[in-house]
Amino acid sequence: MPNPHAKSFPATVMLLGSGELGKEVAIAAQRLGCRVIAVDRYAGAPAMQVADVGEVVAMGDPEALKAVVRQHRPDVVIPEIEALAVDALAELESEGITVIPTARATAVTMNRDRIRDLAAQELGIRTARFAYAESGAELAAAAAPLGWPVVVKPVMSSSGKGQSVVKGPEGIAAAWDAAMAGARGEGTRVIVEEFLPFELEITLLTVKQWEGETLFCPPIGHIQERGDYQCSWQPAAVGARQLATAQAMAKAVTSNLGGAGLFGVEFFLCGPPGGHPDGLEVVFSELSPRPHDTGLVTLMGQNLSEFDLHLRAVLGLPIPAIRSLGPAASRVILATETAETVVFEGVAAALREPDTEVMLFGKPDARPHRRMGVALAQGATEAEARRKAETAAAQIQVKAQA
């Protein structure tokens, strides 16, 4: 594809979604002198704190979304979240607005069924065995042949919302209710998958350029709880054959989706417990057409972070090399209670260790399990980096301001 973005600076960049990942994209853009317009549903969102303009918009409302884009006419629209009026993005794209990576990619990846059909059926990529259902009865019938346990997910949801692991037929009704309660939008479709007892799950950050080859970051290992990532580390120990397989799968899917930008491609590495990394099977899970939360670790682990890479790819700037700077790890800092205003204790203690950083996102309020910050660390080994990130995060307490 030709490079439509080899334009003079400053470019105007609009972020749809202004969370902690968007904030880092905004910082990368500001460093290159770009003008940043940060859009979110609430004022004071993280990326708005470092943007030229903040706009509060209900981004699921097509008219509101089109109005804010047409008002600013940015050079590129960079989605940071899934919950967008994707038909409005397609309409804007047809008016000549560049949507990253493409409007179609935002629509396909928003729906688990569309991306799964593309990967498994169209491209023949190995995924967990799966089926779809649109009622509790259909779910019971679809689950049984997969073998227990199964994982049930609404086709539209993120951060594990509405997702449950079902051990047997008696759990189906509750899983159906949980999926309906956690689904985004009106649909009643769920995906049911075989439960994969994986050895490791990884994110392969994949950079698709307007021109030039598709590039890959060193794999990132991570651990998820309650649908959100808790810690990640890079580079993850992945066998050469597995890495090549994952890269080929990531390239096939991202080439089909088109456009340019960084994608977070998620895989499970499956095999017998304690199996040697060289014997594990690579199973594609899903992907996001944007920087991935597990990739926050690249802020310390790479010469160019996932945010720098996303911006360079989007603007058609060169990416001459992606290099690991050695073992690095991240650990999230979560709120434990609801608070209108928060203060952080223990920041000084956390920063005493060399090669450790703390990022606090500046979110205005807290609720239980809300991600408020992250601790990052480098170490001589993966184990040391992970231990340092854990120790730093554990020192920080999120408190309600008295």
Applying CB under 6 A, does 224 fall inside the site for ligand ATP? yes
**Has 17 been annotated as catalytic?**
no
The one catalytic residue among 20, 40, 199, 266 = 266
The distance of closest approach from Cβ of residue 274 to ligand ATP in the complex, given in angstroms and rounded to an integer, is 18
Applying CB under 6 A, does 346 fall inside the site for ligand ATP? no
> Which residue do the tokens 């047809």 mark?
94
At residue 298, what are phi and psi to the nearest 5 degrees? Answer: -70, -15
CA–CA distance, 69 with 92 (Å, rounded to integer): 8
**Has 294 been annotated as catalytic?**
yes
Tell me the per-residue interface mask from 129 to 158 with ligand ATP, x by CB under 6 A, - otherwise: ----------------------x-----xx
**Has 245 been annotated as catalytic?**
no
User: Is there a contact between 256 and 44 (Cβ–Cβ < 8 Å)?
Assistant: no
The distance of closest approach from Cβ of residue 41 to ligand ATP in the complex, given in angstroms and rounded to an integer, is 18
Peptide bond into 149 cis (omega under 30): yes
Q: Give the residue with the Cβ less far from ligand ATP, 195 or 344.
A: 195
Q: Give the residue with the Cβ less far from ligand ATP, 274 or 320.
A: 274
**Has 136 been annotated as catalytic?**
no
Q: What is the DSSP-derived secondary structure letter of residue 4?
A: T
| Angle, helices 306-315/20-31, rounded to nearest 10 degrees | 60
Q: How many CB atoms lie within 10 A of CB 237?
A: 12
Which 153-182 positions form the footprint of ligand ATP (CB under 6 A)? 157-160, 163
CA–CA distance, 272 with 190 (Å, rounded to integer): 29
The one catalytic residue among 194, 293, 306, 308 = 293
CA–CA distance, 222 with 269 (Å, rounded to integer): 12
Applying CB under 6 A, does 285 fall inside the site for ligand ATP? yes
The distance of closest approach from Cβ of residue 172 to ligand ATP in the complex, given in angstroms and rounded to an integer, is 16
Q: How many CB atoms lie within 10 A of CB 367?
A: 11
The one catalytic residue among 117, 138, 286, 390 = 286
Size of the site for ligand ATP (CB under 6 A): 16
Six token digits for residue 69: 């884009």
Of 97, 46, 40, 33, nearest to 64 by C-alpha is 40
The distance of closest approach from Cβ of residue 193 to ligand ATP in the complex, given in angstroms and rounded to an integer, is 4
Strand, helix or coil at 24? helix
The distance of closest approach from Cβ of residue 149 to ligand ATP in the complex, given in angstroms and rounded to an integer, is 8
Applying CB under 6 A, does 193 fall inside the site for ligand ATP? yes
CA–CA distance, 335 with 342 (Å, rounded to integer): 9
The one catalytic residue among 290, 370, 371, 386 = 371
Of 144, 134, 205, nearest to 176 by C-alpha is 134
Instruction: Work out which of 55, 75, 199, 201 binds ligand ATP, going by CB under 6 A.
Output: 201
Q: Give the residue with the Cβ less far from ligand ATP, 158 or 234.
A: 158
Applying CB under 6 A, does 40 fall inside the site for ligand ATP? no
Give me the active site residues, please: 158, 160, 266, 286, 293-294, 371
What is the binding site for ligand ATP (CB under 6 A)?
128, 151, 157-160, 163, 193, 195-196, 201, 224, 227, 266, 285-286
